[in-house]
Amino acid sequence: MRKHQLHTAFISLFIILSMILTLFSGCGGTNNGNDQKDETSPAVPAAADEPRKVIIDTDTGADDASALILAAKSGVFDILGVTTLVGNVDLAQSSRNALAALELAGCEAPVYPGSSENYKGERIEAFSVFGADGMGDADLIHPKGSAQDKDAVDFILETVAKYPGEVEIIALGPATNIAKAIERDPETMKQVKMIWSMGSAGLGPGNASPVAEFNVYADPDAYKVMLDSGLSITVVGLDMCGGEAQWTDEDFVKLDSSGEIGRFVTASFGKIREFYAANGSAGAVSNCDSLAMMCVIFPEFVNRSIKCHGSCITTPGETYAQVIFYQEGFTYDVAANDYIYNVSLVNDADRLDYFDLYLQTITK
């Protein structure tokens, strides 16, 4: 049997177990007050454990929203909160988009607005290829709820302090909120279990420039603070979501016919599909944020990762916002070889099964 077929069989069983788990845990819930962990079984699949405590940090465009829905429907997370920032859209729109996506997925996780400026304190303008509202300009965004008054950075620090060593932060946008939290209270942030970042070009080309990926380009100073912090970080780069991982026109037909959530996601991708078509890439688009979320949810989705030291270029020029990865165990002839290798860079994922697994998860 081929490797990706074995992965599909494993993941199908994983989803069935997740459905059972969902009966006992709610999105954004408290897990019935049971905070005890089985430290003797770290390799047990997440579906068999208590829900993993996560904060999702997002500049909510269509790709982020699809990943939020995936996270909520997976049944493996206790989403403690969603923190928002400017990036694909401005801060207010980012928060509204997150609320709408969560409500559609039946998730009551609170939303905390964060940064409307970059790490240096400079006001930045949102840029989106997903339409003016970041969601395809398809009149999708009518949330019933409202964002919280508490600032995102305050929420992050209070939550990590409450659950030391347990909270994973899933960063789908620029690293501004995370960098500000590190700057304000580095000792508390050392208690973060893992930061998952959809950021950088990985070992491939960029999309904001030939060498830089959009999330990093939006605030490279923040990304540098995060990488230099020494915290445990798993990076899913742009190189993981091209080629066979792209969603085709046929995939969108299946998605659109799958139900309310599928129609929502399909409509939200309308503008970026037009953008791709106008630039000679008709027929398929990338959805990097949901692929990164797959790497967080399903252990077997990641085939290979490499330990690295990550260095982000913040000086102006052609390499601005490029992330350079120094691989552990590789001896460089001129560069130093005494780095802190705190980054796991996902280098191979089960991309052939990506769309089918996404569809299976959101419609279960």
Single out the catalytic residue among 57, 59, 133, 289.
59
Provide the b/e sequence for 286-295 (b: ≥16 CB within 10 Å).
bbbbbbbbbb
In whole angstroms, what is the distance from residue 49 CA to residue 46 CA? 5
Contact 148, 156 (CB under 8 A): no
Q: Which residue has the tokens 């801060």?
A: 91
In whole angstroms, what is the distance from residue 97 CA to residue 137 CA? 12
User: Strand 302-312 relative to strand 247-248: parallel, antiparallel, unpaired?
Assistant: unpaired
Task: Spell out the SS3 assignment of 316-353.
Answer: CCCCCCCEEEEECCCCCCCCCCCCCCCEEEEEEECHHH
Residue 59 among the catalytic residues: yes
The three-class DSSP label of residue 126 is coil
Q: Shortest CA distance to 145 belongs to which of 112, 116, 177? A: 112
What are the catalytic residues?
59
